[in-house]
Amino acid sequence: MFSLLGGIFLGWSLGANDASNVFGTAVASKMLKFRTAALLASAFVILGALISGQAGIDTLRGLTRIDLEQAIISSVAAGLAVTFMTLLRLPVSTSQAVVGGIVGIGIINKQVNLGGLGKVMICWIGTPIGAMVLALFLYRLLGLIYNRLNLNMFKSDIVLRLCLIITGSYGAYALGANNVANVTAVFVGAGLLNVFSAAMIGGASIALGILTFSRPVMETVGEKLVKLDPFSALVVVLSLSVTMHIYTLVGVPVSSSQAVVGGVLGVGIVKGVNTVKAKTLLHILLGWLFTPVVSCLLALAIYFAVHLQYIPSG
């Protein structure tokens, strides 16, 4: 159990940070109480992890052969990389940090599944782009339906509110299904856990992060999305959820934060407004490039530090 602490910490921080992407809008705008949002998100994250989390776990454990010590090293490296990038105020993806850590171990083992790594990297590029294209399409389609319904002020209010709750729950399901691999896949690869218990422990640790520490992040990160009108916010959350669900089916853990930015960009393109500043995009790009590299280097450094031996002279 002690060996799992690194992974559980990673899951906890993932839950605390990423729940804001799916329920931030509803909570920050007081459409939904934090407690209700946290309970819904936790329940759906666990459900997602248990029902659809296996594909991602299989992909990550297939990146390299790994033993228990290396699993712990890679998850600690990922955790430290996330902390380091956060301190630098760069947007960080836990998925990228985890893959970076695993690749670091793969370099040590001289065995990296380049095919699997290529698939993962293509999906990383595809996440924001996919969410952006999806947001463009969904905005037009849902906008057409919404206008046809010609709802009055109160009905429109109720419909948007219900849709945000349903979409947020679906987003939490997709988040759990997609990101549980980040938390416990290495331990499945090391033979410490089977897939079901990995999904259960991973899902539960993400849920713990949501329940205990997601409130401030939800309230602050959510405010950035609230500047969008409720309909646009709904489209952003829906495009994030569908994007993450698609990558869950492909079996690659991706970043929900990057999907949100893609969605916001997509809505901005449809509305002809600049929703994301160039500086924010630059930060995302820097985070995108450095997170896996930093995590990989940290995994290498920790591995060498652990295996340093004292050789007495003479």
**Interaction between residue 226 and other proteins (CB under 8 A):** yes
- Residue 252 and residue 116: Cα distance in Å, rounded? 9
Q: Work out which of 156, 166, 224, 297 binds other proteins, going by CB under 8 A.
A: 156
Q: Work out which of 36, 216, 229, 282 binds other proteins, going by CB under 8 A.
A: 229
**Interaction between residue 153 and other proteins (CB under 8 A):** yes
Q: Work out which of 158, 273, 282, 289 binds other proteins, going by CB under 8 A.
A: 158
**Interaction between residue 1 and other proteins (CB under 8 A):** no
Choose among 307, 252, 291: nearest CA to 108.
307
Question: Does residue 133 contact residue 263 with C-beta atoms inside 8 Å?
Answer: no
Instruction: Pick the closer one to other proteins by CB: 99 or 138.
Output: 138
**Interaction between residue 313 and other proteins (CB under 8 A):** no
Which residues, numbered 22-61, are part of the site for other proteins (CB under 8 A)?
29-31
Q: Work out which of 2, 150, 272, 307 binds other proteins, going by CB under 8 A.
A: 150
Ranges of beta strands (E only) in 162-295 are none
Smallest separation, CB 229 to other proteins (Å): 7
**Could you tell me the CA-to-CA distances from 26 to 23, 45, 76, 103 in Å, in that order?**
5, 17, 33, 37
Smallest separation, CB 234 to other proteins (Å): 10
- From the list 48-56, 155-163, 212-220, 253-261, the region that binds other proteins by CB under 8 A is 155-163
Draw the binding track, 119-148, toward other proteins (x: CB under 8 A; -: no contact).
--------------------x--xx--xx-
- Residue 154 and residue 274: Cα distance in Å, rounded? 30
Smallest separation, CB 11 to other proteins (Å): 32
- Residue 243 and residue 253: Cα distance in Å, rounded? 11
Instruction: Pick the closer one to other proteins by CB: 226 or 276.
Output: 226
Task: Show Cβ contacts of residue 259 under 8 Å, excluding neighbours closer than 6 positions.
Answer: 21, 127, 128, 130, 131, 239, 240, 243, 244
Helices (DSSP H) in 53-152: which residue ranges?
54-61, 68-87, 94-109, 114-149
Instruction: Pick the closer one to other proteins by CB: 157 or 273.
Output: 157
CB atoms within 10 A of CB 62: 17
Task: Show Cβ contacts of residue 289 under 8 Å, excluding neighbours closer than 6 positions.
Answer: none
Amino acid in position 126 = G
**Interaction between residue 154 and other proteins (CB under 8 A):** yes
Q: Work out which of 99, 160, 236, 237 binds other proteins, going by CB under 8 A.
A: 160
Instruction: Pick the closer one to other proteins by CB: 155 or 304.
Output: 155
Sign of CA dihedral 147, 149, 155, 161: negative
**Interface residues with other proteins (CB under 8 A)?**
29-31, 139, 142-143, 146-147, 150-154, 156-158, 160-161, 226, 229-231
